[in-house]
Amino acid sequence: MSWWRHAVCYEIHPRSFADSNGDGIGDLPGVTAHLDHLRHLGVDALWLTPCYPSPLADGGYDIADHAAIAPDLGTLDDFDTLTRRAHTLGMRVIIDLVPNHTSDTHPWFREALGSAPDSASRDRYVFRPGKDPDGTLPPNDWQSAFGGPAWTRVSDGDWYLHLHAPQQPDLNWRNSEVRSAFTDVLRFWLGHGADGFRVDVAHALFKAEGLPDAGPGQHQDPLRNHLMPYYDQEELHPLYRDWRTLLNTHPARPGACSPDDRVLVAECAVFAPERLARYVRPDEMHQTFNFAFLEAPWQARALRQVIDGSLAASGSVDAPVTWVLSSHDAIRPVTRFGSELRARSAALLMLALPGAVYLYQGEELALPQAHIPDDRIRDPLWERSGHTDRGRDGARSPIPWSGSAPPYSFTAASPDQCWLPQPPDWADHCVDAQRGDPRSCLALYRQALRLRRQYPATAQAPLRWHSAPHAPYLAFQRGALACVVNLGPDPLPLATLGLPGHPVLSSTPLTGDTLPPDAAVWLVTESGHRP
C-alpha cells in the first residue's frame, strides 16, 4: 500500500516553530534543529507552509518569488539541508504551492500595473473594466473570502480580481505563460528535494467564462459552494492530471522519494463529498483535506455522518480520506471542542480512522487558541472584517519548547520581539515538560502513532461500526483495533458494548471498565497484539 494512503503528516508553520538566530522569527534552520521532535513523535512526513519571499500581507500566502526562500526564513541552502536531514530521518517533505494568486509585489503584477488595459501583461491576471458605463462599479458581485468585494480598482480605471486580500491578485489560469511558469516552479522544488505539494486554494484557479455574478448568499452555504462561478470549474481536473504526470516522471534527487511516491494534496474547500472526491480520482491528486471533519461539532451523530460520507465518497474513487483536526487556519481543537480531554479524544478518534492524517504543530501539545492583543494581530481578516473577526493568529502563536515563561525557548529574543506573542500560562504545554510525562498529550499522540505502526494490517482494514447510528457514543472496529469515544453525558461501561480486546490507550486514565464522558479508548484483540 502506498505510504500516503495511511501517512501521518505534520504541518509546520515555520515562522512559529523555532527561531535559530534570535530575531524573534522562526526559520528553516530552526525546523532542521528540531526535527528530532517529529521523529520522536513518529510522523511520516512534514508539510511546510509557504517559505517564499513575501511581504506577509497574508502570512506568506502572498508570494513575490516562487523560486526562492524568504530571507527571514533562511536560504535555499537551508532548505536543502532541511530536506536532506528529513530524508535521512525517514520523513518526507511536502511544501506549499500557491497557484491561485501572487503577491501584488510580484514582478508580474508590477508589470501589469505599469501596462495598458488589455495588454499581455494584464492577461496574466484577471483585469476587467467596471460593469457600468463609467466603470465605477466592480465587474461583478464576487466577494473576497476575507470579506468585502473581490475587486480593486487601479488608477487607470481597470479592476483586478482578488478572491482573498487585495495584495493577492488572482492569476489567469487560461494564460499559457502562467501555466508553464508553474510547471517550472514544480520542477524547481522537486529538484530541491520536495516530495510533494500541498496546493493552496486548489478549487479556485479557474473562474467561469464570462465571470457571471454569484448571486446572494455567497460563502454562506458550504455544501453548495461548488456552484459558485469562482470555484470547482471543470478545467481544474486536466491541470491536476498534468501535474500528477509531472510528479510521477520528473527525476528524483538522491535521498528524496521515488517519483511514483510523490504526493499532491489539495486544499480544496469544496464541501459536497462527491464533488471533493473528483479531485482525488486515480490520475489526479492523491489527497484532499477533509474540511467537513475539521469543522464537525463534538456530537456523535454529526461526526458519524461526516465519517460515513467521507469514506463513501473517497471510496468511490479509491482514494484515502485525509483526516484533519487543526491547521494554521482553524481554531485549535482544545478551544473549539471546549476542553483538552475532548481534543485528546478527537485525536484518538481521528488516528483510528482509515486513511491519512494531518497534524498541525502544537496540536500534540494540546495548545489552546492563544489570545493575541489587538495591536499585535497580523491576520488581514482583522482589518477586512472591520475588527470583528480576530482572524487566525491565535492558532499561530509560537511553539513552547521549554522553560516556564515566554518565549519558552522558541527564540533567544525577548518575548516582545517575537513575531507573535505567546500566552504566559503555557509552561505545562512545553515540549520538554510533556516529554517526561507519560500522561501528557504529547505522550498520547506518540503512543497512538506507535500503535498505528505496530498494526500495519490495520491500515488496510475497513471500518465496521459497533455503535448504533443514534447512540451518544462512537464505537468501531478496524482489524485488530477498536475505538470507542464517549460523546454523551454519562459514563459508558465498556463491557456492555461486547467489544473484543483490551484497552491499550485512552485519552484519560480509565476508572475500571468505564469510559468517562468526553473520553476515548483504543482496544486491541490478543491475536492482533504484537508487543
The residue written with cell numbers 457514543 in the block is 473
Q: Is 201 in the site for ligand GLC (CB under 6 A)?
A: yes
Q: Which helix (H) or strand (E) holds 505?
A: strand 502-506
21 binds, among Ca ion, ligand GLC, none (CB under 5 to 8 A by kind): Ca ion
Q: Is 296 in the site for ligand GLC (CB under 6 A)?
A: no
Q: Is 27 in the site for Ca ion (CB under 5 A)?
A: yes
Q: Is 393 in the site for ligand GLC (CB under 6 A)?
A: no
User: If you count DSSP H runs as helices and E runs as strands, how many of each does the chain have, helices first?
Assistant: 14, 18
Q: Is 59 in the site for ligand GLC (CB under 6 A)?
A: yes
Q: How far is the CB of 200 from ligand GLC (least distance, A)?
A: 5
Q: How far is the CB of 98 from ligand GLC (least distance, A)?
A: 6
Grid coordinates given for 472: 451518544
- 393 is annotated as an active-site residue: no
Residue 515 contacts residue 494 (beta carbons within 8 Å): yes
| Binding-site size, Ca ion (CB under 5 A) | 5
Q: Are strands 481-486 and 520-524 parallel, antiparallel or unpaired?
A: antiparallel
267 binds, among ligand GLC, Ca ion, none (CB under 5 to 8 A by kind): ligand GLC
Q: How far is the CB of 66 from ligand GLC (least distance, A)?
A: 13
Q: Binding marks (x or -) toward ligand GLC, 264..293, rule CB under 6 A?
A: ---x--------------------------
Q: Please state, in angstroms and as integers, the Cα–Cα distance from residue 442 to each residue in 118, 154, 347, 449, 454, following that order.
A: 56, 50, 11, 11, 18
- Return the C-alpha torsion angle 155, 62, 179, 254, nearest 10: 160
Grid coordinates given for 138: 466592480
Q: Is 164 in the site for ligand GLC (CB under 6 A)?
A: yes
- 267 is annotated as an active-site residue: yes
Please tell me whether residue 422 adopts helix, strand or coil conformation.
coil
Q: Is 61 in the site for ligand GLC (CB under 6 A)?
A: yes
Q: How far is the CB of 346 from ligand GLC (least distance, A)?
A: 21
Q: Is 58 in the site for ligand GLC (CB under 6 A)?
A: yes
| Binding-site size, ligand GLC (CB under 6 A) | 10
Other Cβ atoms within 10 Å of 219 Cβ, number = 13
Q: How far is the CB of 23 from Ca ion (least distance, A)?
A: 4
201 binds, among Ca ion, ligand GLC, none (CB under 5 to 8 A by kind): ligand GLC
Beta bridge partners of 159: 128, 153
The torsion angles phi and psi of 184, rounded to 5 degrees, stand at -65, -40
Q: Which helix (H) or strand (E) holds 84?
A: helix 76-88
Which of 25, 264, 292, 505 forms a contact with Ca ion (CB under 5 A)?
A: 25
- Conformational region of residue 318, where left means phi above 0, alpha means psi within -120 to 50, and beta covers everything else: left
Q: Is 78 in the site for Ca ion (CB under 5 A)?
A: no
The residue written with cell numbers 498529550 in the block is 441
For every residue of 110-157, DSSP letters joined together read HHHHTS-TT-TTGGGB-EE--SSTTS-S-SS--B-TTSSBSEEE-TTS
Q: Binding marks (x or -) toward ligand GLC, 322..361, rule CB under 6 A?
A: ------xx--------------------------------
23 binds, among Ca ion, ligand GLC, none (CB under 5 to 8 A by kind): Ca ion
Of 58, 72, 200, 379, catalytic: 200
195 binds, among ligand GLC, Ca ion, none (CB under 5 to 8 A by kind): none
Residue 324 contacts residue 293 (beta carbons within 8 Å): yes
Grid coordinates given for 126: 484577471
Q: What is the C-alpha separation between 128 and 420, in angstroms, rounded?
A: 38
The residue written with cell numbers 463491557 in the block is 495
59 binds, among Ca ion, ligand GLC, none (CB under 5 to 8 A by kind): ligand GLC
Which stretch, 19-27, 31-39, 175-183, 330-338, contacts Ca ion (CB under 5 A)? 19-27
Q: How far is the CB of 49 from ligand GLC (least distance, A)?
A: 7
Please tell me whether residue 523 adopts helix, strand or coil conformation.
strand
Please tell me whether residue 159 adopts helix, strand or coil conformation.
strand
Which stretch, 58-66, 271-279, 439-447, 495-503, contacts ligand GLC (CB under 6 A)? 58-66
Residue ranges binding Ca ion (CB under 5 A) = 19, 21, 23, 25, 27
Residue ranges binding ligand GLC (CB under 6 A) = 58-59, 61, 98, 164, 200-201, 267, 328-329
Active site members: 200, 267
